[in-house]
Structure 1
Amino acid sequence: MAETTSTVEARLADLGLRVPEVVPPVAAYQPAVVADGVVYTAGQLPLVDGELPFTGKVGAEVTAEQAHDLARQCALNCLAALKHAVGDLDRITRIAKVGGFVASDPSFTGQPKVLNGASELFGQAFGDLGQHARSAVGVAVLPLDTPVEVDVIAHFR
């Protein structure tokens, strides 16, 4: 019997992307928690095969364009956590809220454009169901010196 692919994963495949394996926690938490029809992901770093492609502050060691791509990778890692929690991304009925953190040089003010990397991916993957509220916050430092971290609140059936 052939493995079926969710509609969401098929859309990602059309973009040349795939949902990675869930990123193991780097501390005392779960990748995602389900409560009352809502999935809350932990903050996801832009890890690729266990490694950070870039470290440092956006606007200094990392460009806004690089950080945009890192936010997209964070979103893919959020999808992995969502899938791990509910089993099939087609069970997601709404991406309700995206929280984004950007480790920023003090002069950098482009956090919203960086986080568009994640927001655009959720829209591409879920269509109208991927339209969400969002926070884009500049911070002094993030875990492992990552430039970007993203978390998601999603509803599912």
Structure 2
Amino acid sequence: MTRIEQKLQRLGLALPPPVAPPPGVLLPFPPVRLVGRRALVSGHGPLAASGGFAEPLGKLGRELTVEQGFLAAQLTGLAILASLQRALGDLDRITAWVRVFGMVNAAPGFMRMPEVINGFSTLILELYGPEAGAHARSAVGMAELPFNIPVEIEAEVEFE
């Protein structure tokens, strides 16, 4: 078991299977694109243990609280880690989290996007520490996200 897998286990967290999109939905792109020593991670949403999108769905500031959004961002982080593990074979190969772009499905007037995306950042920093886990980040509100998911996150990492 790798160092990151051990940390996940100690935290009581598990990586989900690949996304199972709704019937009729095609995703004609890879979840992770490897370019040199960089992995570009396509937008991911929060996944349940089944591979479907985790509940609850909806907009922050209307159907969901900041706390629910924080948890959705953490689940999204686990989905990203699972895709990276499948692409790299070993999460310990990641040497730096370079950039994170967090999108929040926000109701009009909702402005607490950074607190929501902190669910992702806190997880990555806990797993990778302040050096490798530090990342440039944006957290923005969107009028809509696919399938009414509360959070979508894309990222870029370096690996060896």
TM-score range, shorter chain: over 0.9
The one-letter code matched in structure 2 to 1:152 is: A
> In the alignment, which of 51, 54, 60 is matched to residue 52 of structure 1?
54
User: How far off its partner does 1:23 sit?
Assistant: 2.3
- In structure 2, the partner of 1:40 is 40
Q: Structure 1 unaligned runs (5+)?
A: none
State the alpha-carbon separation in 2 of the partners of residues 88 and 16 from structure 1: 19
Alignment of 1:11-30 (within 5 A): 11-24=7-20, 26-30=26-30
User: How far off its partner does 1:40 sit?
Assistant: 0.8
- In structure 2, the partner of 1:104 is 106
Are 2:32 and 2:84, in contact at CA under 8 Å, matched by a contact in 1?
A: yes
Q: Which consecutive aligned stretches of 4+ in structure 1 deviate over 6 angstroms post-superposition?
A: none
1:68 aligns with 2:70: yes
State the alpha-carbon separation in 2 of the partners of residues 120 and 103 from structure 1: 20
Residue-pair matches, total: 153
- In structure 2, the partner of 1:149 is 152
State the alpha-carbon separation in 1 of the partners of residues 141 and 74 from structure 2: 17
Question: RMSD between aligned alpha carbons?
Answer: 1.2
Question: How big is each residue's C-alpha offset from its partner over 1:60-118, in whole Å with a ceiling of 9 and x where there is no partner?
Answer: 01111101000000000000111111110000001111110001011100000000000
The alignment-based identity, stated in percent, is 39
TM-score (norm 2): 0.91
State the alpha-carbon separation in 1 of the partners of residues 86 and 43 from structure 2: 15
Alignment of 1:86-125 (within 5 A): 86-125=88-127
